[in-house]
Chain A
Amino acid sequence: MNAERSKKLYFEAHELAVGYNGSALIHDIEISLEKGSILTLIGPNGSGKSTILKTITKQLDRIKGSVLIDGQEILNWQPKQMARKAAVVLTERIKPELMTAWDVVALGRYPYTNMLGMLTPEDKEIVRESLEKVNALDIAAQEFLTLSDGQKQRIVLARAICQRPEIIILDEPTAFLDIWHKTELLDILREMAHEQEITVIMSLHEIDLAAKVSDYLMCVKGDRIAAFGSPEEVLKTLPIEELYGMDSGSYNVLFGSVELKKTEGMARVFVVAGNGCGIPFYRALQRKKIPFSTGILFENDTDTQVATKLAVEAFITPAFELPGDEIYRAAVKALEKCDVVVDAGTPKGSLNEMNSRLIAHARDRAMRVLNEICELEGV
């Protein structure tokens, strides 16, 4: 029964077109989400992520298409009915005067309280639970406007939770937060989705976090949806560099990290690396805008992930195999063209003895061999 339930679609959008003043910006949006899943919209600034979110929360009139919650078209839902199903966290920063954090969260009970907005003991318990969920019980009595950005965002999320929705829609909830608060907030969402089967739709700027927290990613670019699916599928089919139109820098899918633009030109430094020892040197060289080559790396080395993005030339050999002579000769050739060789300090073992030979070769030719990053000064 459980499996059957999890298969049931909770949120759907079909042939949805969104835009302003009757003209569509994005067409043919198709979304299907099971209850308790997380969908994240990613895409460059101004791509229309917010427009989509505003349309499905009915802040903005849709141009065309249908939006269904739990199998029902929401177009003609009464505001109160909508409020009991869906809660929002918006990008706009609220400035409620003389309201405590508790007051702000308690407003989440709005669709449930009587005409005068009186809170029953049960309502108060829900407010307390919501505050607890975002770890904000300690700041409940403080005035909202005196809180830090991270605290404010937690309170705004608690308000949405307090509304006891089945779906939460968040527009860039991690903006203005430091990395620790970002992960904390996303952890809370993950937990809610998992434990209470609350469906989450949000937009994020951090692709790496989006891929980690979401069940589905949707890439918004131009007037269509560029991709929709599990993060693994989406990132495989649609290079992030392309989505964001990045002509400098690169995105590492495996690490979920962004690298700045590689320095082009003739390599002046050869880094003999491996076992992750090379990365600090690569970054230092990248910062100094010194083009470099590196090797010999096994395919499965962590250094490889960064080397391919930053080095002019990286000598990579298949994992779990002894490197062939060919790659050694190619590396020697590249090394001889450089001014300086770096010994990154990779442990020497039987499989990578070629690296020791590279360094020995450099010394034989009386090339400068460096061991420390600080020695790169003046290269």
Chain B
Amino acid sequence: MKKRNEMPRGLRFTFVMVILLLLLLVALILNITIGSANIPAERVVSSLLEFIMNPSGNDAANLPTESIILFNIRLPRMLLAGILGGALAVSGFLLQNFFRNPIAGPFVLGISSGAKMVVGITMIFLSDILSKAGPWLLIAAAFMGSLIITAVVMIFSQKVKNMSLLLVVGIMVGYICSAVTDLCVTFASEQDIVNLTHWSMGTFSGTDWENVRTAAIVCIPVIIAVWLMSKPMGAYALGENYAKSMGIRIKPFRLALILLSSMLSACVTALVGPISFVGIAVPHITRTLLKSSKPAFVIPASFLCGAVFCVMCDLIARTALAPADINISTVTSVFGAPVVIWMIANRRKNEAV
């Protein structure tokens, strides 16, 4: 039926990557110029140049307000949205590979909620230590939470082969985690509740360079490690037994997938709170664009696509009801959930054929 001359996939990959890079550039420019104070592009460029020429002048007192908005508010926020959006997408792709289920993702499988639960408990009961330890403790807490829930979902996935049912399990586990989190809130002090609520809404507002640095330190090495695993990931698509017969050591491989995926989603959850649907929607969009599920292609493209998606969503979150910030999950859900619905509907159609 399909006899059209299609673009070779290598070329297609390059093409998609270029488009995504251009989109990211556009998203960055929009993000940097639009806001409660509109800063025209040429002014951005001139302040940027100034900043580069004279980095020692990076003293808040010496800089004009515009530059402060640019460098201390918008730029870090935008970069964080980019890095974490990409990380979420890659984390979702890892889970999809692991469960061999295209609608797996950290949010729907309850993994984000698990991370949230442990972060919540940490925020409430360890608030003293937290003020000193900063983001690393939160990341560790989120990582723990992610791992616990992933383990629970894995146990069920042995029994439940049907992918929609696995999703139901994930959602239920997510509810249980939320219930536990709510229960803990009962014991929390007022200040902790404020912190927790603000965090669990999921927002990029208030991002500083420290957050960006933390995110980059965690996510970039992890994503490189993930990309280096593209070969076994590709073979794993044929199923565990075939993968094993081709020489993959299944246990270490599966463990690596889960650890890397959990690290990425934990980093996101710890820094900005749970963000929904990016993990499923973005890899799906990417695969559709690439017309391939080859991990060596999908991983970098998903990262870029996730970055574009989150930067754009954050722009909307920031500006739609300005000066109020909408929480980021609201925006990602509005755009991400329909993609997931479309995907499930499409699969049904394909399976019937």
Contacts and interface: CB of A to CB of B under 8 A. Distances in A.
Contact of A83 (B100, B245, B287): B245
Interface string B257-297: 00000000000000000000000000000010001111010
A110 interface: yes
B255 to A, nearest CB: 15
Contact of A110 (B239, B246, B249, B350): B246
Interface stretch (B67-75, B144-152, B228-236): B228-236
Nearest to A54: B241
Given A103-B294, A107-B235, A79 B228 contact: no
B293 A99 contact: yes
B247 A145 contact: no
Given A79-B247, A83-B245, A94 B235 contact: no
A374 interface: no
Contacts of A107: 234-235, 238, 242, 246
Nearest to B238: A94
A378 to B, nearest CB: 46
Given A97-B287, A98-B291, A104 B238 contact: yes
Interface in A66-111: 78-84, 86-88, 90, 92, 94-99, 103-104, 107-108, 110-111
B231 A116 contact: yes
B237 interface: yes
Given A98-B291, A116-B296, A145-B350, A59 B231 contact: no
Contacts of B102: 97
B140 interface: no
B2 interface: yes
B248 interface: yes
Interface string B292-314: 11101000000000000000000
- Of the candidates B234, B242, B296, the one having the most CB atoms from chain A within 10 angstroms of its own CB is B242
Instruction: Identify whether the interface residues of B are mostly helix, strand, loop, or mixed.
Output: loop
A277 to B, nearest CB: 47
B108 to A, nearest CB: 18
A142 interface: yes
A83 B247 contact: yes
Interface in A87-145: 87-88, 90, 92, 94-99, 103-104, 107-108, 110-111, 113, 115-117, 141-143, 145
B244 interface: yes
A239 to B, nearest CB: 35
A317 interface: no
A152 B171 CA distance: 35
Contacts of B287: 97-98
A104 B237 CA distance: 9
B239 A94 contact: yes
Given A96-B237, A98-B293, A117-B296, A86 B231 contact: no
Contacts of A110: 231, 235, 246-248
A57 B245 contact: yes
B235 A88 contact: no
Contacts of A163: 246
B105 to A, nearest CB: 15
Nearest to A95: B100
A302 B287 CA distance: 60
Contacts of B237: 94, 96-97, 99
A97 B102 CA distance: 9
Contact of B245 (A88, A97, A113): A88
A90 B228 contact: no
Contacts of B1: 146
7 shortest A-B CB distances, which residue pairs? A117-B231, A83-B247, A80-B247, A110-B246, A98-B293, A79-B247, A96-B237
Interface of B: 1-2, 6, 100, 102, 228, 230-231, 234-235, 237-239, 241-242, 244-249, 287, 291-294, 296, 350
28 contacts: A59-B241, A59-B244, A59-B245, A78-B247, A79-B249, A82-B245, A83-B247, A84-B247, A90-B239, A90-B242, A94-B238, A96-B238, A96-B293, A98-B287, A98-B291, A103-B292, A103-B294, A107-B234, A107-B242, A110-B231, A110-B248, A111-B247, A116-B228, A116-B230, A116-B296, A117-B234, A145-B350, A146-B1
